[in-house]
Structure 1
Amino acid sequence: MATQRTPKLDKRLVSETALRLLNEVGLDGLTLRAIAKELDVQAPALYWHFKNKQALLDEMATEMYRRMVAEGGPPRAGTWQERLLAANRGLRAALLSYRDGAKVFSGSRLTNTEHAADQEAILRSLVEAGFDLPQAARATFTVFLFTVGFVTEEQGVHPVPGEPREGYDVEERAARMADFPLAAAAGTELFETYDEGFEEGLRLLIAGIEARYGVA
């Protein structure tokens, strides 16, 4: 009778398993011990590949980006405004496809250079439009930070899509804040209309970049 062979343990397998487990337990529950149990290995085996949890998060973020590119990735045509809009819409969608996806991605160092071609293309589109390189770098990084920060807040309120965390029911919030009518009324805009809020935020940033650097 043939015995079932355990797949060879490598960084890719560990990161893929970690991303699958992330959707079940969230970032706080994602430990090397839990991943080892899922892989049916002893926890010390993972330390051959990752010296700590941050190293694992770096590889998970890299796998997230790899999958985003495989599904289409950032656009390689259009105006610089169109490319920034499309790239960051795609990034938000990718982060939202994982529980705590933005927290995993935030501050992580991608472990390969697969992202460099996309970064090069977007920077080149800005430079060719009239930005100098420092301006192009600041502009693209600022929009990236907005996207990651926006999704971090979005997932903080909705850890699971469509299920707000306790304390974020808009009507209950409005009742608690009845003495502050403008703040109370702002709840719907702040905590329910994320798609519209993200789109408007991106356009505000791009309009600000145009105005700041004088490049239309």
Structure 2
Amino acid sequence: MASRIDRKLVVETALRLLNESGLDGLTLRRIAKELDVQAPALYWHFKNKQELLDEMATEIFRRLFRSTLPAGGPGADGRWPSWQEMVLRTCTTLRRELLAYRDGGKVVAGTRMTDDSFAAPLELFLSHFTAVGFTLTEAARAWWTAYNYTVGLVIEEQSVHPEPERPEVRDPSYDLDDRERRLGATYPLAARAGRTLFGDIEEAFEAGLRIIVAGIEANHLKGEGS
């Protein structure tokens, strides 16, 4: 029975079902039913749901790296971007790809890569930093900060807009008018801030990313002057 399926088919099915049911609704039993096999057949390939999530996250990154240029690669004009552009481009692409999957941010958060496909883009990203004078430690921390900001924001964004195919749909818990009515009299600043925090999330993401880029630059210049 196990020969009817392989790891690739299980992962492809899991990613498709993820958009239908979300992470909480994704179970090995549900995947087995979709594949028309008994649940134990899946255990030939994955011991538990966490192993499956690790492979799903790895496949998301494989698809990301196959469909886009590696971090810091040349643009259409053949030019290599500045490191600032590289960070902005890479994180914008990462966000877009994760948003294509329901709960995509949660799937990749805290999972372990099952192969080394991430290493080549990371090597290119770090080498682009070090080529312009960053130490490896600075480069690694810059990427780690920008990456975790992006994944964390996607998790928050997907709690506000949970359906990838209908991004205009907002969870009722994030009704901005209701939030302002509840908080306005006692916490006027917190009430008005909701429009910035949960209104145009794409604009908020870009603004936050620019803050991170500015911080990376300021920290690097401080190190050069010491």
Q: State the TM bucket, normalised to the shorter chain.
A: over 0.9
Match of 1:149 in 2: 152
Residues in 1 aligned to 2:14 and 2:42: alpha-carbon distance in whole angstroms: 12
Shift of 1:110: 1.5
| Preserved contact between residue 146 and residue 209 of structure 2 (Cα < 8 Å) | yes
Match of 2:183 in 1: 177
Residues in 2 aligned to 1:33 and 1:79: alpha-carbon distance in whole angstroms: 48
- Which of 190, 206, 211 aligns to 2:213? It is 206
- Which of 132, 135, 151 aligns to 2:135? It is 132
- Which of 29, 44, 55 aligns to 2:51? It is 55
Q: 5+ unaligned residues in a row in structure 2: which ranges? A: 74-79
Code of the residue aligned with 1:53 in structure 2: it is K
Match of 1:87 in 2: 90
Which moved further from structure 2: 161-170 or 188-197? 161-170
Normalised TM-score (structure 2): 0.89
Code of the residue aligned with 1:64 in structure 2: it is I
Match of 2:203 in 1: 196
Render the CA deviation track for 1:107-140: whole Å, top value 9, x for unaligned: 1111111111100000001111111111111110
Residues in 1 aligned to 2:91 and 2:184: alpha-carbon distance in whole angstroms: 36
- Could you list the structure 1 runs, at least 4 aligned residues long, displaced by more than 4 angstroms after superposition: none
Shift of 1:65: 1.1
Match of 1:30 in 2: 26
Match of 1:44 in 2: 40
Code of the residue aligned with 1:165 in structure 2: it is D
Residues in 2 aligned to 1:7 and 1:72: alpha-carbon distance in whole angstroms: 33
Shift of 1:166: 2.1
Residues in 2 aligned to 1:8 and 1:120: alpha-carbon distance in whole angstroms: 38
Residues in 1 aligned to 2:83 and 2:25: alpha-carbon distance in whole angstroms: 40
Render the CA deviation track for 1:3-32: whole Å, top value 9, x for unaligned: xxx984111111110000000000000000
Task: Give the number of equivalent residue pairs.
Answer: 211
Shift of 1:157: 1.4
Render the CA deviation track for 1:29-57: whole Å, top value 9, x for unaligned: 00000001111111111111111111101
Distance 1:75 1:127, change over 3 A: closer
Instruction: Confirm or deny that 1:66 pairs with 2:62.
Output: yes
Render the CA deviation track for 1:50-90: whole Å, top value 9, x for unaligned: 11111101110111111112221434131111111111111
Residues in 1 aligned to 2:10 and 2:203: alpha-carbon distance in whole angstroms: 36
Residues in 2 aligned to 1:136 and 1:171: alpha-carbon distance in whole angstroms: 42
Q: 5+ unaligned residues in a row in structure 1: which ranges? A: 1-5
Code of the residue aligned with 1:120 in structure 2: it is E
Code of the residue aligned with 2:111 in structure 1: it is S
Match of 1:168 in 2: 174
Code of the residue aligned with 2:179 in structure 1: it is R
Secondary structure at 1:118 match in 2? helix
Normalised TM-score (structure 1): 0.93
Secondary structure at 2:173 match in 1? coil
Residues in 1 aligned to 2:13 and 2:3: alpha-carbon distance in whole angstroms: 12
